[in-house]
Structure formats: structure tokens, C-alpha cells
Amino acid sequence: MKLSIDHGIQTNYIISMYDTTGILLGFGCLFTWMSVLHYLAYDHVFGLLFSVMERSAFVVLKFLACISILFTGFVLFAWVVLGPYHIKFASWTSTFQSLLSIMHGDEVYVTFTAIDSDKEIISYINVIFLVIFLAIFTLVTLNIFIAIFNTAYEHQHDNTYKKDHRSDLLKFIGRMETKAFDTDACVSCVKRCCPSMLGCMSFCDETNTIENPSN
């Protein structure tokens, strides 16, 4: 249906069904391409990146919940106080969209100067409000996000990363490439790392028998 519309083939059936099928098609394509990222996790660098994102996801969600509450307070303040005098804050929806665009650096100067009022106090409140809003949601928020990801990265990049956070395939390959065991700690090695299906237990028993014939 999408290809038909792009090529100018438009019938009543295609147009009437496209809204429903288009949504399903869009979500299907999105989730399919997101699943492709799974294959990049076999690489060490990509695996570290995904591990950092997974570890910091819950903390980021909690921080976003706090920021959403604070953002709602700023939206209500701008709508109530500046709404009658500012075209961008005339309604709750436009206030929400305007503050969201200011967070991304869009039309900041216009928002500072688009006050339709002769009252100086309203102009001062507008400037003070926008300065505080920009300071919190561009400087503080961004730095907290960076701190969250830095903390997760440092934790995942320590000495235990390769041991604890490899995929099952890489762990299996690493065991198969191991040609010798530390016989002094063979039993603990088997219990911690090697499943019996690889024959590690028999290898350790044979090695111990050779080194200790009396046993």
C-alpha cells in the first residue's frame, strides 16, 4: 500500500486501509531494525555500549520521572502567569510545546522578546523564568545525564567486564580455546566455569592422577 501511494496508485480501498496498516507497518519496521542491534552485541565495543545503556536505563527512567514533574510545574507557571501576555504561552498545549522547543535551543530569543505587555514586572518575570528554565533543563539536566552514563560506563569497564558480561557464545568459545587448567585449583575451576558437558572434570581427574600417582 505504501509503495502504491508513492507511485500514484491511489484507490478508495488503499486510502481507507492505509491509516491502520501504515501504523502497523511503521511499528513493525521500527522493532525489526531495533532487533538487528542484537547482532552488534557480539563485538566488544558495542557490547560495552549496550551494557552501559542497559545498566543506566532504570536510573534514567527514575530521573526522567523527576524531570517530568518539574517540567509540568514550569509549564503551569508559564501558562498561568505569562499566558495572557505571551502568544507562545496562550494555551497549555502551546506552552508545553514552546518550553519543549526551548530545551532544544529553538526560538529562544523570540520567546524572550515576544511579550505583549507594558507592565515591567511581567517582562522581568518572563526573563527570570526563561533564564531559570534554561539553566535547569539545559545545564543541570544534561550534566546529570552525563554523570549517570559515566558512572555506568566506569562500572562496566572495570576488570570484571570481560568475565561477567560476555555473551554465552563468547564464554563458550573462550572455554573451548583454553588448553590447560590450573590443577591446584581444578575443582574450583570446574565448579565456577566449566560445565560437565565439555569434559573438563575428566581432564582434571586425569591431570591430577598423572601428577599424583599415589592418589
Task: Give the C-alpha separation, 198 to 175, whole Å.
Answer: 9
Which are the contacts of 136, defined by CB distance < 8 A and separation ≥ 6? 70
pLDDT digits (tens, 9 = 90+) for 46-62: 877 888 888 888 999 99
- Is the predicted pLDDT of residue 198 greater than 60, yes or no? no
Q: Are residues 205 and 144 located together in one domain of the fold?
A: no
Q: Are residues 47 and 87 located together in one domain of the fold?
A: yes
Q: Are residues 135 and 84 located together in one domain of the fold?
A: yes
Q: Are 132 and 99 in contact (CB under 8 A)?
A: no
Q: Are residues 81 and 51 located together in one domain of the fold?
A: yes
Q: Mean of the per-residue pLDDT values for the chain?
A: 75
Task: Give the C-alpha separation, 63 to 75, whole Å.
Answer: 18
Domain that holds residue 176: 169-211
Q: Are residues 180 and 103 located together in one domain of the fold?
A: no
Q: Are residues 55 and 155 located together in one domain of the fold?
A: yes
Where is average pLDDT lowest: 4-13, 76-85, 147-156? 4-13
Instruction: Say which residue, 158 or 209, is predicted with more confidence.
Output: 158
